[in-house]
Amino acid sequence: MKKIIALLTILFLQSCIVNIKQDYNGYSRNLVFEQNKKWLINNIYTDLNSYDRDELNKKIFEKFNELSKGNAYTLEKARSENLIAGKISFSPEIEEIEQLKNATDFDYLVNIYTKKVRNNLSLIEPTEQTRYASNEAFAIIEVYDIKKMKKIYLQKASSLQTREEKTKGPSFHYTSETLSKKNLKKIIKDIEKNAILKN
C-alpha cells in the first residue's frame, strides 16, 4: 500500500510540473515605482469565478500598494471618491487614457486579464488516453503611463499541459482555472522581483 501511495505521489508531482512561458512583447521587464506617483488598479477581466476574481483583485492591489508605498487605488475606491465615473476597458483607446489624464491625477493605470483557453483534461485521468487533450490558459498585465498617454509595460504568461494520444494512465493535471491563477501569480512575482523603487 505504501508503495502504491509513493508511486502515485511521484506521478502526481511529475504530471503537475508547469512550465510558464513569459513574454514581454518588447517592453522592459522593469516597472519604476517613484514616491507620490499614483497607481489606478483596474478590475481584473477574467473568466474565473467570482471568488477567484475577488481574491486575485485583492492580491494584485496589495502588491502594487506595497511597491508604491500606499499610493495605489482600486477602481471601487476611485469611484467612491468620484475620481472615476465608470468602467475602464482592457487595452483602452487613447481617448480613454486622455480622459483619465484630464479628469484625474493618477499617473499609471494597471490592467489585468486572464483567459482559460481550453480545459479538456480532468484533474486525474485514470485510463488510457484515446486522443490528444490539453489544458491551457494565459494571463496579461499591462501598465499605461497616463501622463504620457502610452503603454509602458506588458507581460503575458501562458501555460499548457498536454496528454498525448494513447498515453497510458494514470496522470494528473492542473485545471485551466488553476493554470490561469498560476500564470497571474508568476507575473506578480516577476513585477516585484524586477521593480525599481525610487524615493
* 170-196 residue pLDDT tens: 778 899 999 999 999 999 999 999 999
Q: Is the pLDDT of residue 16 over 60?
A: no
Domain CATH code at residue 61: 3.40.50
Band (10; pLDDT cuts 50, 70, 90): very low
Residue entry with cell 488598479: 41
Alpha-carbon 112 to chain mean position: 6
User: What does the alpha-carbon distance between residue 41 and residue 165 come to, in Å, rounded to a whole number?
Assistant: 43
What is the predicted pLDDT for the residue at 145? 97
Span 25-63, pLDDT tens digits: 999 999 999 988 999 999 999 999 999 999 999 999 999
The CA-CA-CA angle for residues 98, 56, 66, to 5°, reads 70
pLDDT over 90, % of the chain: 64
Q: Could you tell me if 184 and 166 are in contact, meaning their C-beta atoms sit under 8 angstroms apart?
A: no
From the CB of residue 177, how many other CB atoms can be counted at a distance below 10 Å? 18
Cα dihedral value 29, 149, 88, 67, nearest 10: 40
Q: How do residues 64-78 score in pLDDT, each as one tens digit?
A: 999 999 999 999 988
Range of the domain at 55: 2-198
DSSP per-residue string spanning 20-61: EEEE-TTS-S--EEETT--EEEPPPB-SS-HHHHHHHHHHHH
Closest CA to 191 of 149, 159, 162, 154: 154
Per the structure, the count of domains in the chain is: 1
Helix, strand, or coil here: 76? helix
Q: What is the pLDDT of residue 163?
A: 78
Distance of alpha carbon 11 from its chain centroid, rounded?
A: 28
Predicted TM-score (pTM) of the model is: 0.86
Check if the beta carbon of residue 59 is closer than 8 Å to that of residue 128.
Answer: no
Q: How sure is the predictor about 199, in pLDDT bands with cuts at 50, 70 and 90?
A: confident
